[in-house]
Each structure stands twice: as C-alpha cells, then as structure tokens.
Structure 1
C-alpha cells in the first residue's frame, strides 16, 4: 500500500466564494471559520464567501483566508477518516501543513499569517519589486540570468515549482533584465506575475525579522505527522526548528519540485491538494504523471476524492 501525502495551497489560490459550502454543510469546517472570525476580530468568513476581489487579494486578508479554507477542508477530510503519512505546503501553505501536523494550533496560525501578510506587504514599497514566471528553461540557466542581472539590483529564484516552471523575483530593473536574459538563454515564455512584492528574496528580510518576533510568542507542540519544509525540501527534524525555518522561508527560495520529489522518494503515490484551487495538482502532474492526485476545496471535490480513494 502506498502512502498519502497532503499538500496545502499557497497565496494566489484564493477566490471569492471559497469554503462556503464546507461552512454550510460540515459542522467541523464551520467551526474553523468561527474560530478564525473570533481570533482575528473580524469576519474573514465574510471576505471568503462574499467579499470583493480587492478585499480577498489584500495580502493580510489573503493569507488568513487561504489558511482558514485549507484547515476547513482538512477537517472535512479528517471526518471521512483520511489520514496523511506526510504533509507539505507551498509557502503560506506550510502553515496549514504545520497545523495539520499538530505543531501549531490553528488559533495561533491564523493570527500569525495575518501579521505575516502585513509584514510582507510593508517590507518592500509597492512598485519597487515584482515576480515573473520563467517557462521552459532549466534552473541553472535561470540562476545564470539572475546572476548576470544583479548589477541592476536584487534578483533571484523565488520558487522552483516544477520542471519548466520557475519563478524569479527582485527589484524592478534587475527583474526586467533577468527576464530578458532568460529569453536570450532560450526560455519559452516569460510571464510577469500580478503580485505586490518580490516575495522569497532577501528583500523580505525586514518581514522575516518582524515575523520572528511574533513567532517567539507561539507555543509549539510535537510534530505528529512528518512535515517537509520549503527551505530545505527535507523533513523538519524537531519542533524547535520550526520558528527559524518559518523566518527563513519568507526570504528563501521555495523548493517545491524537490519537496514533491522527496515525498515520491519516500513512498507517496497519492497526493491530495487541500484548500482552494488546483495549482499544486498541476505541478505534481508535471513532476510525475503516474501518481494519483485529488483535491479537496468543496463538497463536490471532497466526495470525488473519497470515491477515488475507495476505488
């Protein structure tokens, strides 16, 4: 029997209406939204279900909203008796993975990611930096393009998503030059991303430092389900490592392709993407076509996943 790996959605997966039918149909999921509203002191549930695009896309709302929907979906899955052998999450999704693993209480995580979103937003003024996806070019050549552009400012690899899709981030001029160089080196396409900052670069150090101050107040618990972290694409050894890794994660590359490969190597043959959207499922397909991939974001996808697992 193969293993089940749960993977949790990151920022960018959000959409208006997400989580609403979980809230309406599953008491354990509803309870998660109620806790989030109470802990945050405002109705994040309302922003998820009926908010404007503008509201849901504000980083300080997006992060708690995606986390809340992900944990609500997790509760729905757990009610059906599904247990993970290991977990991972893309960037923000790592907080959902840590909640799932027992390391962090949801009550703490939801307040923490709201602050994380705020700190990330404030670290680099709007318009100073950005991100771009580079398609169809290997990682060494992309690293070369970034290196050759660094005289214009900070630019580096932010996300190793899957074969043929790597995201770079940095200051506007350096980013522009790196995109041009990537095209010259043979990239099939370069897509500028509509994000508010150069996430997962050293420009986010002020956010990482502020986040670490908040993390000092968080009580961690023992990790029950193994968690693979973005920073190393390897298991978090002990709960004492969590705070440093979450600090690093804000300003380090996300090794997502390597994370999935680690899970595959350790026997995962069934992936369930938990939370809004199906971006991670797409990445997994590009990494390995043979594995089974499901997602849980609403009642329909939950039922499909349970049927698929039974079969």
Structure 2
C-alpha cells in the first residue's frame, strides 16, 4: 500500500461547541494521558477535561471560556493526531490556526504532550483572566469563494482608518482564507460593524468569549506567558512546523529559544496569517491530503479558501474545490465521521 502524504492542521478557538460535547470520551485514544491532563487541571483548581466533556449539556458560559476551551481543543486535537493511521499516512508537516499553534507544537514533537497542554492551558487562563478587547469576522471573498482583492484592500484600509481615530483600537487579527478576523476595543469593533454592509445574514459576526488575540493589546498577556512558561519546555521538532507567518521550523535546525520567543511573542501580539501558512504547506510540501483534526469542522472552509488563494491545483472557486473534493478528497476533516474514516486505522481496515 502506498502511503499518502499529509499536512496536519490544528484548529483554534471556537471549534469545541455543542455538537462536540463528548468528543474526548468518544475519540481520545489514551486514557492515561487524559488522566494526566486532568491532574494538571486539578492542580490549578480547574474543572477537569473529563468533567467538562461529560457535562449533561453544553453552555457558552462554561465551555467557551478561554481557560476551558483552550484545554478542550488542545486535547481533542492531540487525540485526533494520535489516532491517525500512520501506516497509511505520512505526515510531512504540521500547522495550526491561532491557538492551534500550541497544539501543532505538540503534534510536531517540539514539546511533550503534557508540556504542550501546560502551554495551551496557561495561555487560555491568562487570556480569560485579562479578556482584553474582542474579535469579529467578516468575509472578503464572494459567496462562491472567488477572491476580491480590491475588497480586501478596502476593508484593511477601513481598519487602519478606524485605528487612527481617538480612543479606537482595531487591527487585523487573523488572515483566515476568505475571512478577515478583526480585533480591537469596543469602540473600534463597533465602528467597523457600523461601516460595513451586513452579508450572508451573519456577518459581521462577533466571536463570544474571544479577546483581541494576535494584536498589540495582548502584550501584557504575552509577557505573563513568557514569565510562566520557560524556554526549556521547547525542543527540536520531529516534524516540520509551519507558523503563523508561513515560515517553516525545520527539525534539527531550530533554536528552542527563538521558538519560545516566537510562540510567546510575535504569535500572541502580531497578526496570524493562516492563509500564508496554508500557502507554504501547499507549495513547499505538496501533500496528497490536508487533514484538519477535530474538534469541530469550522476550519475546513478557511482551509479550502486558502488553497484557492494559493491557486492550488488550478482551483479558483468554491465550485472548483467541491468538484475536486468529490473526485478524490484532498481535505479530510476528522470532525466529520465519514471523513474521519479516511484518516484512521478503523477506516483503513474496513
């Protein structure tokens, strides 16, 4: 059997929702490791992942808090990575979106599973405690995902204009395929919402329990993270890591001090370019598959849009992607049962 090459993509905040309740009990492959995560949470006076994941019902107030969501998402992501069919799939690189970078560090072997959990859990707690600013999402491609670069430029110019106003703070937080994630203070976010037209009956869309991630507003949180999380947690990755600038951290060539500085510096306070990360993944590694781990399935659209923007395999629109996906799947979302089967031993053995 010929192994398929794959880039693994780790999702960020907002991906563990009501339909994901019970994900860890259903899919996490290592009960002893999950118990160690629970012990780390107990030591911090936090609800265990087992308690959160097995709750009778999902609540926004509890499950989407940064100190809970980050840990749940990290564990679900790592569990899916550990569940991959490594006999049939050759993972050639790992990347992530936003806090998915912490998960990517663990998947690539740059930190142990427990140390990666400590990083994700600590940063989630610090973000929640500070809760500086907020985020919203707005599209710049059309509904068939055809790029409109002039529209994107105009939206970014609007962000700059608002940011120049007195008492207004606004900046690009994440370049997310066909979406712009914008972050700032209340005045800045409200000004943007007022200035743009509502589209698709849901945008501009505020993200609940999200701070102004990946902006200068997070400088205090980044400083607290560097004080709490030493560089000794990090080591040489075993797989190539693609960061939020589209840069590659190659095994054997990584300075852990620089990786620490990026992870708890630039990655926290500067815009995260997920689109660039996917462009690098496609052009530098040319994988057979792009595997998005769980939890959830919300990152799949941004991955597909990023591949369209990278002009991957001639795709120029949503319909192009759907045709290509129907012929032979190139995007595998492990949050979807039928697609999960394409990436796990259970599916391979059927």
Q: TM-score, normalised by structure 1?
A: 0.86
Counterpart-to-counterpart distance in 1, 2:162 and 2:109: 42
Q: How far 1:277 moved relative to its partner?
A: 0.8
The 5 A counterparts of 1:275-294 are 275-288=294-307, 289=321, 290=324, 292-294=330-332
Residue 104 of structure 1: how far off its partner (Å): 0.5
SS of the counterpart of 1:157? strand
Matched residue of 2:79: which SS? helix
Match of 1:99 in 2: 106
Task: Say whether residues 1:168 and 2:182 are aligned partners.
Answer: yes
Is the partner of 1:149 in helix, strand or coil?
A: helix
Q: Say which of 147, 153, 157 aligns to 2:172.
A: 157
Distance (Å, rounded) in 1 between the aligned partners of 2:191 and 2:49: 39
Counterpart contact for 2:297–2:336, Cα < 8 Å: no
Which stretch of structure 1 is more off in the superposition, 102-111 or 233-242? Answer: 233-242
Distance 1:249 1:133, change over 3 A: same
**Structure 1 position 80, deviation (Å):** 5.4
Deviations 1:259-281 (A, max 9, x none): 11111111123111112011221
Partner deviation per Cα, 1:162-195 (whole Å, 9 max, x = no partner): 12x11101011122213333449xxx94222223
Is the Cα–Cα contact under 8 Å of residues 97 and 227 in structure 1 kept in the other structure?
yes
In structure 2, how many angstroms separate the alpha carbons of the residues matched to 1:81 and 1:207?
A: 41
Distance 1:139 1:158 in 2: 14
The offset of 1:196, in angstroms, is 3.7
Mapped to 1, the partners of 2:348 and 2:215 lie a distance apart of 39
What is the DSSP-based 3-state SS (H/G/I as helix, E as strand, rest coil) of the residue aligned with 1:305?
A: coil
Deviations 1:96-145 (A, max 9, x none): 111111101111121222210121123345xxx32111123643222211
Of residues 222, 232, 251, the one that matches 1:208 is 222
Residues 78/107 of structure 1: CA separation in 2 closer, same or farther (3 Å cut):
farther
Query: What does the per-residue CA deviation read over 1:194-238, in whole Å, with 9 as the maximum and x for residues that have no partner?
Result: 2342222111111010111122264322111000111x2111251
Match of 1:272 in 2: 291
Greater Cα shift, 290-299 or 85-94: 290-299
155 and 221 in structure 1: CA distance in 2 versus 1, 3 angstrom threshold = same
Cα RMSD, aligned residues only: 2.6
- Answering whether residue 283 of structure 2 is matched by residue 257 of structure 1, we say no
Task: State how 1:287-302 maps to structure 2 within 5 Å.
Answer: 287-288=306-307, 289=321, 290=324, 292-297=330-335, 301-302=339-340
Greater Cα offset, 14-23 or 54-63:
14-23
**Aligned twin of 2:234:** 220
The normalised TM-score by structure 2 is: 0.77
| Alignment partners' CA distance in 1, 2:342 and 2:68 | 29
- Alpha carbons 2:85, 2:348 under 8 Å: kept: no
Deviation at 1:8, TM superposition (A): 0.6
C-alpha distance in 1 between matches for 2:231 and 2:283? 36
1:85 match: secondary structure: strand
Q: Deviations over 1:25-46 (max 9, x none)?
A: x4xx323312211222252122
Contact 2:65 2:209 survives alignment (8 Å): no
